[in-house]
Structure 1
Amino acid sequence: MRKTVLKATLMAAMVGGSAESGAADYKKNPFTLVYDGAITRNDAGKVNIHPVSYQLNGLKIAANVYTPAGYDGTKVYPTIVVAHPNGGVKEQVAGLYAQRLAEEGYITITADAAYQGASEGQPRSVDKPANRIEDIHGMADFITQYSGVDRSRLGLLGICGGGGYSLAAAETDKRFKTVATISMFNSGRVRRNGYADSQLDTVQDRLKQAAEARAEEAAGGEVRYSGDANLSDEQIAKLPFALYRQGYEYYWKTHAHPNSTFKYTTSSLLDLMRFDATNQIELIQQPLLMIAGTQADSLYMTEDAFAKATGTQDKELFRIEGATHIETYWVPKYVDAAMGKLKTFYQRTL
């Protein structure tokens, strides 16, 4: 195993031009993508995006498939499933990495989680670990039937909360031959203990609130939500953690998308608070790459999971010097650093 540090310096496809830098306004992109360099229309011979949908447990799931330059459905390509962060949607950072990986020759897929984004499911913004893990299995179900996919070379990439759920999915889903995470966020641990384990003394109170919220839902009453806030710039600046301060900036301002929200049903906490992304992590025997920034206040979660992943000796913790959690989503030099490592990792393991 290795530990290294890098000093890092909805509509159908259209025909015509290519990517534009700075396409962070969803209203200016025909696919509502909000990351820099996003595809604006499909060109023959270049990386293309294909909005698709499929059924998963009775719900219609909205996804984007990216195909590499010169894609030919009669040939076979290594393929990567990309799982988005908590509160995120496929048009944000998950789409960025999916597109960048397609530029390296991979077919990629990223989908909105069930009950979230453009995918179906009521009530909205249910955020249960079992659902998020099933979303990843579902992406694998769909993409392995897609023309040109080499089922024997299927990889997985999870970002933030999607990283924690990707670890859980890879424990048992051996269709995934290799797994990587970026800025992994252990949703269960944070919902249970608070960020940086700062709310250990209120666990029982919050569990009681979650149980009350579920009871109200079951009785046909109001659906309660947690995590939703309308904060001023001054309030955001006073938040104690960089992840939250920069997260509000990313999700509400620079890379905002109407389908993206911080909120989740309070009743989801009954499931979230008994979940842990590292439970049974020793079942991962596949090659494992975990990427995080040295300045990320979430780094402790990646380090903890990495240490517990004892089932594989082919594992690496890759720290990007100077990067915070959210900066790995969009800052070019940090994205390039992560992509450089992902490129060599997937080339070797797929």
Structure 2
Amino acid sequence: MNTSNETVNHEEPDAGRRTLLKMTGVGVAALGVASVAGAPAFAQGNAEWDKVFPKSSKVDHEKVSFQNRYGITLVGDLYLPKNRSTGTLPAIVVGGPFGAVKEQSSGLYAQTMAERGFITIAFDPSYTGESSGEPRNVASPDINTEDFSAAVDFIGLRPEVDRERIGVIGVCGWGGMALNAVAVDKRVKAVVASTMYDMTRVMSKGYNDSVTLEQRTQALEQMSSQRWADAEKGTPAYQTPYNVLKGGEAQFLVDYHDYYSKPRGYHKRAVNSGNAWTQTTPLSFMNMPILTYIKEISPRPVLFIHGEKAHSLYFAETAYAAAAEPKELVIIPGANHTDLYDKVDVIPFDKLQQFFDQHLSV
């Protein structure tokens, strides 16, 4: 394990955000939120470049769509090395962060790994971005785990791909989903969780497991009442978008804002870019710990990558401790949570290539 001897300062939200009611209401928008306006698009072929990162001249790009096991149509970006051989290549499925879209961090990871010789796909999770599913902007630990396996289905059927050499990368909240997916999907040969969140843990227990039973009960009472309101109206209510800083926020919330609400990472379809989840989205996360069977990833390898200064580091440390060998935790000195979203001089792409070259070898 590669780590640092410095003590990591896990910043806690302010007192108002420490309650689960706040965290699963307005506060969860800070973890990720997707556009409620308009129907999803299903463009095919080489559409206009609409990513927050530059297009690489070293890869070919295709807009693709496929269905998951629940019949939801997912839209993705497929990246292929431009100077690829006529034989088959290893592939990597990329998802995340929680509430982001494929035009952001996952697309950057996918395109960069395609430059390094892998066929990759970044996708919009069910109910968000350009993918289908109604109502809009709702998350599910089960359905979103399935989204990874559906992407494996799709990419493994491509004639350019060796289906025996498929890996997965999950970023932020989709890091936990990726681990959950690979625990049950034995087709995947190796998995990376980058700057990961365990969304079921943070929604049910709050940051640093600080939520009390009273606060949890209050949150569930509020969301249960909201169900009556939604049922009577026939449409779900949405959280307040988190896109304006009022001052006094914890540093990690400022970091999220600096990515999602500024040109660096803003995308109109992304949940965190001024849109919102449904108010009852946290319900399915409240009593479903997704990392229960993390040991069953073994004997396939798992690599955790996290920033030394990330408020979320404890998620990776806990998951690493629970995982079985072979496993590795790489901590990036000085990096915060969102540095691993898009800073190509911080994200250890050489390490990622080495990991997948080794474990997706012929």
- For the superposition of Structure 1 and Structure 2, which TM-score range results when normalised by the shorter chain? 0.7 to 0.9
Quote how far apart the aligned CAs of 1:31 are.
2.1
* Helix, strand or coil at the partner of 2:346: helix
Aligned to 1:309: 323
**Equivalent in the alignment of 2:241:** 228
Question: Counterparts in 2 of 1:143-292, with a 5 A limit?
Answer: 143-200=155-212, 201-226=214-239, 228-232=241-245, 235=246, 237-240=247-250, 242-253=251-262, 254-262=264-272, 263-285=276-298, 286-292=300-306
Consecutive unaligned residues of structure 1, counting only runs of 5 or more, are: 15-29
What is the CA distance between 1:227 and its match in structure 2?
Answer: 6.1
Number of residue-to-residue matches in the alignment: 317
Name which of structure 1's ranges 50-59 and 285-294 shifts more when overlaid on structure 2: 50-59
Amino acid at match of 1:216: A
1:300 and 2:314 matched: yes
In percent, how many aligned pairs have the same letter?
35
Offset, 1:92: 0.3
Find the partner of 1:13 among 28, 46, 54. Answer: 46
Q: Distance in 1 between matches of 2:55 and 2:227?
A: 40
Distance 2:168 2:278 in 1: 27
Whether the 8 Å CA contact 2:141–2:290 is kept in 1: the answer is no
CA 1:280–1:162 in structure 2 vs 1: closer, same or farther (change >3 Å)?
Answer: same
Q: What is the SS of the residue equivalent to 1:33? A: coil
How far apart in 1 are the matches of 2:177 and 2:101? 15
1:21-40 to structure 2, matched below 5 A, reads 30-35=48-53, 37-39=54-56
Q: Please tell me whether the aligned partners of residues 129 and 271 of structure 1 are also in contact (alpha carbons under 8 angstroms).
A: yes
Moved more, 291-300 or 220-229: 220-229
Per the normalisation by structure 1, the TM-score is 0.85
Shift of 1:279: 1.4
> With structure 2 as the length reference, what TM-score do the two structures score?
0.83
Query: C-alpha root-mean-square deviation of aligned residues, in Å?
Result: 2.0
The within-5 A match list for 1:36-51 is 37-39=54-56, 46-51=58-63
CA-to-aligned-CA distance 1:249-270 (integer Å, 9 cap, x gap): 1111121111101322222222
Confirm or deny: 8 A CA contact 1:69 1:105 kept in the other structure: no
Q: Is the 8 A contact 2:66 2:75 kept in 1?
A: yes
**Is the 1:5–1:319 contact (alpha carbons within 8 Å) kept by the matching residues of 2?**
yes
In structure 1, distance between residues paired with 2:139 and 2:79: 26
What is the distance in 1 between the residues matched to 2:293 and 2:224? 26
- Structure with higher RCO (Cα < 8 A, 6+ apart): 2
